[in-house]
Amino acid sequence: MSLKSFAAKLFARNVVRRIHKWSHRPIETQQKVFKELIATAKDTAFGRDHDFAKITSFESFATKVPIRDYEDLTPYIHRVVKGEPDILWPGKPLYFAKTSGTTSGAKYIPLTKASIPNHIEAARNSILCYIYETGNARFVDGKMIFLQGSPKLKEENGIKLGRLSGIAAHYVPGYLQKNRLPTFETNCIEDWEDKVDAIVAETKDENMTVISGIPSWVQMYFERLQLATNKKVGDLFENFQLFIYGGVNYEPYRAKFEKLIGRRVDSIELYPASEGFFAFQDSQSQKGMLLLLDSGIFYEFVEAERFFDNDPPRLTIGDVKTDVNYVMIVSNNAGLWAYNVGDTVQFTSLKPYRVIVSGRIKHFISAFGEHVIGKEVEEAMNVAMDQFGFSISEFTVAPQTTPETGELPYHEWLIEFEEPPKELQKVAAVIDASMQAQNSYYEDLINGGVLQPLKITVLSKDSFTRYMKSLGKLGGQNKTPRLSNDRKIADELVKMQG
């Protein structure tokens, strides 16, 4: 065992002990975070506008501070962007993480001196929990790659601006710098396809042990590696042991990854966002990711089915239940207050609190009242993949409300297969049966003759890559939604098949 791996094991043990302390006192931990946030921000513009000085409990906070989307917060954000201090959080933020918006265009999410360390420590601690549980620390001696956005930053009114992953690249600990790839120069390449080719050239002869990134873009990297070397990734990188990912569910990609790698490797799921690093997979044997309750973030939860009601109940960590779909609301030490992140989560455990990301509150299908969410379509796809043994590159689902032939409406599954299965109708039937088993609304619509069973549209190779490229969103943290309540994405993908 090397000195570095021995030190990593000792460090892991100490960190896990600290995690156990707060995770075994979840309600007290969140109360402490809540009080610190309110006390620190009471003299900011937002704090004065919402009477923070008189907030003594969560109940008074919920009365004074409504749930907000980004669009609702923009009057304050614009003041911060202009360089005004003490608006949402004391002083000015160190950075803005620039992300793609919806109706608001680009989003500027503040990152402060208080919030930045939480992002870095969470990523580090996820690896340390893995080391502690498995006893495996050999990979720390090899090379590690993090597929991420450009670390080049702009500056506006004294605040630096860039992608979250690019900002995080400036905070890689010194003890990892010698192990880290790609080089800074390669990371700065803007064109994603050129960047991947450059990363392949830099890494193909290295001892890669850890690879991290969004699965769809890591898949492209693996495919380019295989094309350049004519070897499976696991043969090329004999010591490759750990895949770290976030952003999307890995399961639909797992079969393809194992084919590209040639074997199974351990994986760690992360739940990072510009608004905060919310959770990470702390166990290889337990389902879900540990919700980070001591990281400067106070959490609220609203049942997804009631979210669009007038004044739905706002729950704190002590009120949640397992297997319920919640919209997650956060207040944090970067100055976001009762902020709707847009994600829906389900708790898999309450001791400790672990979550899975079940979808997006704006990414669903309910054209007929079926309330289909991302978790359900991913589970149905996994059932079919396990039964028929096929693998996919990507897929998305959309409603077909007005079929041209006058037939009943249906859900269209647009799938980019590695190789389309021969029994496509049977695959569709298994997926549909899984959907009905998971979603009683969908089952009732099928049985009631409102919808017909789903149909699969087979997409040509690289359809999703070409679609994302057409939007200027190829690579980085960008990803195609698993499902939509309209046909904007579906129609564009179908057009590309001509």
Q: How far apart are CA 131 and CA 141, in angstroms?
A: 13
Dihedral angle sign, alpha carbons of residues 140, 141, 146, 152 = positive
Between 318 and 366, residue with greater pLDDT: 318
What pLDDT, on the 0 to 100 scale, is given for residue 13?
96
Query: What is the mean predicted confidence (pLDDT) over 177-202?
Result: 89
Query: What is the mean predicted confidence (pLDDT) over 268-288?
Result: 96
Between 163 and 231, residue with greater pLDDT: 231
Residue 188 above 60 pLDDT?
A: yes
Banded model confidence at residue 473, pLDDT cuts 50, 70, 90: confident
Identify the H or E element spanning 80: helix 70-81
Query: What is the mean predicted confidence (pLDDT) over 287-300?
Result: 98
* Distance set, CA 219 to CA 25, 142, 155, 255, 258 (Å): 39, 21, 33, 11, 11
Rounded to 5°, angle at Cα 302 from 300 and 304:
145
484: left (phi over 0), alpha (psi -120 to 50) or beta: beta
What pLDDT, on the 0 to 100 scale, is given for residue 477?
64
Mean pLDDT, the chain, whole residue set: 91
Residue 92 above 90 pLDDT?
A: yes
Identify the H or E element spanning 208: strand 208-212
Q: Which residues contact 257 (CB under 8 A, 6 or more apart)?
A: 215, 218, 219, 222, 243, 250
Query: What is the mean predicted confidence (pLDDT) over 348-352?
Result: 97
Task: Describe the crossing of helices 440-447 and 424-438 by its angle, rounded to 10 degrees.
Answer: 120
Neighbours of 331 (CB within 10 A): 23
User: What residues does 331 pair with on adjacent strands?
Assistant: 298
Q: How far apart are CA 416 and CA 456, in angstroms?
A: 10
Backbone angles phi, psi at 397, to 5 degrees: -130, 140
Are the C-beta atoms of 122 and 277 separated by less than 8 Å?
A: yes
- Strand 95-99 with 159-162, pairing: parallel
Q: How far apart are CA 24 and CA 424, in angstroms?
A: 48
* Domain covering 374-495: architecture: 2-Layer Sandwich (3.30)
Are the C-beta atoms of 356 and 288 separated by less than 8 Å?
A: yes
- Fold of the CATH domain 1-360: Rossmann fold (3.40.50)
Backbone angles phi, psi at 283, to 5 degrees: -145, 140
Q: What is the pLDDT of residues 105-153, one digit of tens each?
A: 578 999 999 999 999 999 999 999 999 999 999 999 999 998 877 888 9
Residue 400 above 60 pLDDT?
A: yes
What pLDDT, on the 0 to 100 scale, is given for residue 476?
61
What pLDDT, on the 0 to 100 scale, is given for residue 367?
83
Radius of gyration of the chain measured on its C-alpha atoms = 23
Query: What is the mean predicted confidence (pLDDT) over 92-105?
Result: 73
pTM for the whole structure: 0.82
What pLDDT, on the 0 to 100 scale, is given for residue 100?
60
What pLDDT, on the 0 to 100 scale, is given for residue 390?
93
Query: What is the mean predicted confidence (pLDDT) over 178-193?
Result: 87
What pLDDT, on the 0 to 100 scale, is given for residue 103?
40
Residue among 198, 176, 179 at smallest CA distance from 188: 198
What pLDDT, on the 0 to 100 scale, is given for residue 479?
77
What is the residue whose two structure tokens read 């779909």? 325
What pLDDT, on the 0 to 100 scale, is given for residue 104?
46
Banded model confidence at residue 297, pLDDT cuts 50, 70, 90: very high
Q: How far apart are CA 215 and CA 257, in angstroms?
A: 9
Between 192 and 41, residue with greater pLDDT: 41
Query: What is the mean predicted confidence (pLDDT) over 370-391?
Result: 91
Are the C-beta atoms of 284 and 130 separated by less than 8 Å?
A: yes
What is the residue whose two structure tokens read 């506006």? 156
Q: What is the pLDDT of residues 140-164, one digit of tens each?
A: 999 999 887 788 899 989 999 988 8
The strands making up 455-458's β-sheet, listed across from edge to edge, are: 392-400, 410-417, 455-458
Backbone angles phi, psi at 164, to 5 degrees: -55, -45
- Strand 242-246 with 266-273, pairing: parallel
Question: DSSP label at 345?
Answer: E
Domain ranges in the chain with CATH number 3.30.300: 374-495
Residue 451 above 70 pLDDT?
A: yes
Domain ranges in the chain with CATH number 3.40.50.12780: 1-360
Residue type, 285: S
Give percent above pLDDT 90 in the chain.
Answer: 68
Q: What is the pLDDT of residues 352-374, one digit of tens each?
A: 999 999 888 877 788 887 888 88
